[in-house]
Each structure stands twice: as structure tokens, then as C-alpha cells.
Structure 1
Amino acid sequence: MLDVPLWLYPIAFLAVLGPLVFVHEYGHYIVGRWCGVKADTFSIGFGRKILGWTDKRGTEWKIGWLPLGGYVQFAGDRDAVSQPDANWQALPSAEKSHTFPAQPVWKRALIVVAGPATNFLFAILILAGFAWIGGQAVTPPVVGGVEAGSSAATAGLRAGDRIVSINGREIEVFGDLRMAVEHRPGERLEVRVAHDGQDRLVELTPRLVREKDPFGKEYTRAIVGIAPPPPQVQSVPLWEAPLVGINQTWQIIRQTGEVLSQFVTGRRSIKDMNGPVKIAEFSGKAATMGLATLIGFVALISINLGFINLLPLPMLDGGHLAFYAYEAIRRRPAPAEAQEWAFRFGFLAIVTLMLVVTFNDLGSIGVWDRIARLIG
């Protein structure tokens, strides 16, 4: 069992989140520059400035004391979430042309989408590097063995069966099987199986199992009771590595979307949501398992950061894109009052969500149990 020193958690958390926030915001910043928009502030973290400088273009680069995000404030913005300044139209023409609100809607949308897109590109680069250096797992989705009493055994699966698809999702390698199953406990899955040239449909219902990670902490995942065949790894040429990175990134995005839909539809409890405390915990654990594991975790968080920012919630990039879509279709911006109320709702929703996930995180590490014992 591995031990993680307490001091490593905040350091690893900053090592993971800091570069990802920079990558995200730099995407906004650099595309804004390409579009001729002046950036007033580039901030990593929120709150009071603890370090900063101003470059020759007049952009203030700073680090805030609260390292839970960042922002780029462009000329013409009232605040860090790109609400227009009421006075931007009164600026001289030369200055006005370099403000964010003065740009056509397609440029504003391009600048906004550049943040999440850069997170995805960063993850693709990492995963492509892993594929080029270490190869790609190509273990076929063939049943190597069946656990007695499992849903796979009940359905009549046997060694040599090939899993073709699950709920219409094509299974190309054995790793796809795990990604399609482990977040679906109790759901009835329609599985297409091939054997000796013949296909058949079977139904499997994954069950939850409790396992321990290398640190001795329990976690749960869903299984159907299928063991893999002997692992196979294939070398990947440099030109093909980005395609592998793109495919792996898409698989993670797809799984993230499926898990999110489970939260929305009530099939998964909100208690399963993780927040910054759990990210810090996972970061510390990943750091003790080696640089490669930590970098892989960075890629995963980068994908999730990009995905979450594309959700159509005001305050997030996806919320801005939703308003720009309205503007593009109706040929005029949404009413200022409607935008103001939407951003207030978005702020309240995000703060509420952060409180919920932080409450869950503290419970998962035993804080509430300790408090209850002290009170009792």
C-alpha cells in the first residue's frame, strides 16, 4: 500500500490545474489576438493579485490567490465573464475596433470556443505522445474467460466470443468494453456477440463491485464478469499518433457525456460528483505513481475541463456560445436584461454546484464522520 504525504496534495493539485487553466485561457487569448482584440488582463486564479506584470501590448498578466480558474478580460469587457462594458461604444473608433463587443459574432464565438478547443488539443497531444512512445493497446474484444455466476455467465457467453457492440456502440478493442460498461451498474445492456461467423444478441446487466486502489482506498465500478485475453500492444508511427490521440479523446468525451446524462436523468446520484478536493486527492496519488501517470491524469482533467466549459450554462463558454447562436439566428443580440438574469442564474447554479461537490468531497475523505464523532 502506498502512502501519500499530506503536503503533496496541494502541490500536485496546482501542478495539474495551473497549466490547464493557462492552456485554456491562452486559447482565448491567442485567438483574440489573431482577431485583433486587445486583452486587458490575463489572470491565473481569482482574487487579490499576488504576482503580476504588464507587457508591451498593455496586457496585465497576473496570478490570483485563489487557484480555481482564470480568465482573460478583453477590451470592452465589464468583468471577467465578458459582460460588455456600458461605455465601450463611446470609445474612439481606433480603440473601439479592438474591443471584444465590437467584433462580428463569428469572431466572438471563435474566441470563446478556442478555450475548450485548446484543452482538447492539449490532451490529444499528450495521448498522441503516449501512443508514439509506448504503443497502443490493441487487445481484441474477445472473451478470455467468464466469471462464474456473473451476468456474462448467465447470458451464456464463453471463451472465444467476440463482443461486437454494446447498445449499438461498436467495440473495437477490449478497453472499449470497460469504458462502455463500468459506469452503467444495473442497466440492461444489449450486446451483440460473434462466434464462428454467427452473430447473436444477448442482454447483460453490470453489477457493482468494490475494489481497492494501490493506496488501499475502496472504489466501485460496474462489471459483467468477462476476463480479457492476453494483452496486445502495437507500435504507433509518429504520423498516426495524433489520430490515436483524437480517438482516445473522443472516447473520453463520449463517456463523460454519458455520465452527465445519468446525473441529469437521475440514474446516477449527485453524491457521485467530484470537485476540487477530490481532484487534489487524485492529483497527489497520481504524482506518487510516477510522472507518466500524472501526465495522463492531466490529459483526463484537460478533456473534462474542455467538456464542462462547453455546457450551455451562463458564466461558462457554452453559455456565451448559446447567446451568440441566438444572435446569429435572430440577427440581433439577446436583450441585455435577459442576458443579465441568465448570468445571475448561471453564477448561482455554479456556486451551488461547487458547494455540493465540495460537500461530497469532504464526506468522501471522512471529514463529516470525524466531526460527528467529535460532537457525539
Structure 2
Amino acid sequence: MIQTPGLLLTILAFALVIGPLVFIHELGHYLAGRCCGVKAEAFSIGFGREIAGWTDRRGTRWRLALLPLGGYVKFAGDMSAAGRSDPDWLLLPPEERAQTFQAKPVWQRAIIVAAGPAINFLFAILILTGFALAYGDAQTPAVVGQAMPGTAAAQADLRPGDKIDALGGRHVDTFEDMVRYVKIRAGERVRIDYVRDGQADHVEAQIGTQEQRDRFGNEYKVGLLGIAPGNPVVRPVGMLEAPVVAVRRTGEIIEMMVETIGQIISGRRSVKELGGPLAIAKVSGEQITLGWDAFVFLLALVSINLGFINLLPVPMLDGGHLLFYLIEAVRQKPVGAQAQEWAYRGGLAAVLALMMLVTFNDLGNFGLWRHLAGLIG
């Protein structure tokens, strides 16, 4: 039976995901800026018209804006919320000029920009640390419990007790490592290295494709090798080890994201799988109905995504700014104003095009295009 969380709960859940994560991201920029002596003129959650706000004793305007799909910190010397320099910052009095973003050395500017994504990763690590303390570190050995009939594992003659050493040349330690590798490689051929009765061997197999449907009616295509796991091992984790487990899990999530993007760029995965704000809203509503554990884990996952995406070397994003600072550090002088202007325009066009694409995908996943085709037909 398909269950839906309802529109109001979905909107609430989306606000509970995006609002805190945007605030945390911008707080990283703000705190790093304060540590470097840069004045923040505005701290905004959302874009567009201000619907609520106040000005603190440092002169920073804290805003809640109409469009909640992001946020920004506008530092002294910035011409816009995108962080582009105001040409008139050099005309400010010396005391005010010293508090501008542009007056700081390149390494401090890089720290301020990198602090946003960094705090997103830190927030996710803190959540995953809590999960590790609460539930332990669950790991299932990379051993075949059963080769399911009719699957690639059965066709490859894998047998119970076989220890999988590597998939596609990549070493695997646990059953979870195998699942992460296989699920994003539906239909691909893979070399399986294994050990049977102390003897190393290998076999080629084609990963199957499994269509899954969850309780909300969402359909997924994932890779399936057909290996049933053995007995899982849940190991208690102490206070000192929990952050290590959390960092490892964060790295695994980032690694899967990098591989997925690589598959999209190379054409092995469809761009239709990219989702945007509407998809996040839908998933937020679904996860909150599954319980707070699922919802908090989603917060960690989206926070990692937000940090990762912002580090991409695209002008308008934090990664684009960091790329300019790297070039400035190597050349010992800033990138020319005209070059930056064209780069920002290109970055803006790329971001807008991506937003249009993911919104188109989201509406398609909601069935809008099928519904319209039915009406026209």
C-alpha cells in the first residue's frame, strides 16, 4: 500500500531540512569571517524580499527572506550576495577598508570560503558519531552466505563460504562495501576476485538490475549481484572511536557521490536521476514519517551533499571562489576583473541550467509529464 506524508508535512519536513543546513553552512562563513576580522553586513536565510529580521550591535542584519532555497553572508566590500567585489571598497576610510573581505590575505579569504562546506561535513560527522554511539558499527563480512538462484552470483558459480576480496579490481572488506559498489553499477560487467578453501580465484559476471518500489510508490533501479549476506557483526563503539567511524562513513558517502557523478558525465548513468529541491522536499516528507532516526540520517546525507556540491569548481559556488584564490596564490595577483565577470556569468548560467534540469526531472518523477501526455492524447 502506497503511503504519502501529505503536502503540509512535506513542506514542514523540507523546511526542517533546508533551513538548519543553510543556516549552518552560512554560519561557517560568518564565524570564519569574524575570526579574520571581516565585518558581516548581512546574514540571510533565503533570497528576495525580507519577511523578518533584526540588526545586531555589530551592524549585521540577520534576515529571513521570502525564497528559502539557500542563503548568504554579505561581507563588507562585497557588491552582491554572490561575493563579487565592490570596486569602491578601496575608497573606504582605512579603518573600514581593513574590515572588508578583499583586504584580507588570500589564505584568510580561502579559509572563510571553505568554512561553509567544512561545517556541513562537520555537522554530518557529528550526527553519524551519534549513530555510531547509539547503534554501534555494524559490519558484515564479505563472505557469500548464499548465491540467490537466477542471479549473477549463481551464474558465476559463487558458493556459500566464498570470501570476496575485490570487485572490479577494488578491494572490499565488508558486505556493505560490496553493496555500495554494486548498487550503482546495474548492467555492468565486473571481475569478482574471491577465495575458496584457501585458493584465490576470479570470475567475470554481469551485475543484474533490480527494480524496487518503496512504501511511498517511488521506483528505483539498482544493481544486484545476488549474494545473500552471512551473519552481521555489530561492534560496540566507544567515545574515542565513534568519530573515526563517522569520518569513515562520510568518506564512503562522498566516494559514492563522486562515482555517481562520474557515471553521469561518462554517460553510464542517466541525467534523469539527478534531483533538485522538489525531490529533497518529497524525500524529507517521506523520511519524517519513518521516524526521527531516518529523518536525522537524511539531515546528515543532505549536509554532506551540500558541502560537496559547494566545493565543485564552479563560479558562484564556494569551489569557484577557491579556484580563483588558488590561481591568485600561484600568480601572486588576483584574476582580472573582466575574467571574473565572464566566469561568474558562465557559472550563473550553469547553475540556472542545472536547476531547470533537476526541476524538470523532479516534475517528471512526480508523473506530471505522463499526466499531461495523457490529457493531450
State the 1:5 CA deviation.
1.8
For 1:27, the aligned partner's letter is G
Give 2:103's aligned residue. Answer: 102
Deviation digits for residues 265-285 of structure 1, max 9, x if unmatched?
121111111111111110000
The two structures have a TM-score, normalised by structure 2, of 0.97
The 5 Å alignment of 1:125-136 reads 125-136=126-137
Q: Does 1:264 align with 2:265?
A: yes
Paired residue type of 1:35: C
TM-fit CA distance, 1:191: 2.6
Shift of 1:203: 2.4
String of CA shifts for 1:267-306, please: whole Å, max 9, x gaps. 1111111111111110000000000100001100110111
* Alpha-carbon offset, residue 165 of structure 1: 2.2
Cα distance in 1, alignment partners of residues 281 and 158 from structure 2: 41
User: Secondary structure at 2:51's aligned position in 1?
Assistant: strand
Provide, for residues 120-146 of structure 1, a one-character-per-residue CA deviation record: whole Å limited to 9, x for no partner: 000000001001011111111111111
| Number of the residue aligned with 2:319 | 318
C-alpha displacement of 1:189: 2.1
1:39 paired to 2:40: yes
Q: Which one-letter code corresponds to 1:373 in the other structure?
A: G
RMSD of aligned alpha carbons: 1.2
Question: Aligned partners of 2:346 and 2:4: how far apart in 1?
Answer: 42
Q: Which residue of 1 aligns with 2:72?
A: 71
Matching residue of 1:330: 331
Report the CA distance between 1:357 and its aligned residue: 0.5
Residue 239 (structure 2) pairs with residue 244 (structure 1): no
User: Which of 166-175 and 178-187 deviates more?
Assistant: 166-175
Task: Tell me the CA shift for residue 205 of structure 1.
Answer: 2.2
Distance 1:98 1:191 in 2: 59
Give the AA of the match of 1:290. G
The amino acid across from 1:358 in the alignment is T
Q: Where does 1:349-364 land on structure 2 (aligned, <5 Å)?
A: 349-364=350-365
Distance 2:90 2:191 in 1: 58
> Using the alignment, how far apart are the partners of 1:229 and 1:296 within structure 2?
25
Instruction: Name the counterpart of 1:115.
Output: 116
Q: Which runs of 5+ in 2 are unaligned?
A: none
TM-score, normalization: structure 1? 0.97
SS at match of 1:87: helix
Quick one: distance in 2 between partners of 1:188 and 1:332?
49
Please state if 1:157 is matched with 2:131. no
Q: Determine the C-alpha separation between the residues in 2 that align with 1:45 and 1:142.
A: 49
For 2:169 and 2:105, locate their aligned partners in 1 and report how far apart those are by CA, in whole Å: 41
Write the mapping of 1:1-376 to structure 2, written as runs, cut at 5 A: 1=1, 2-376=3-377
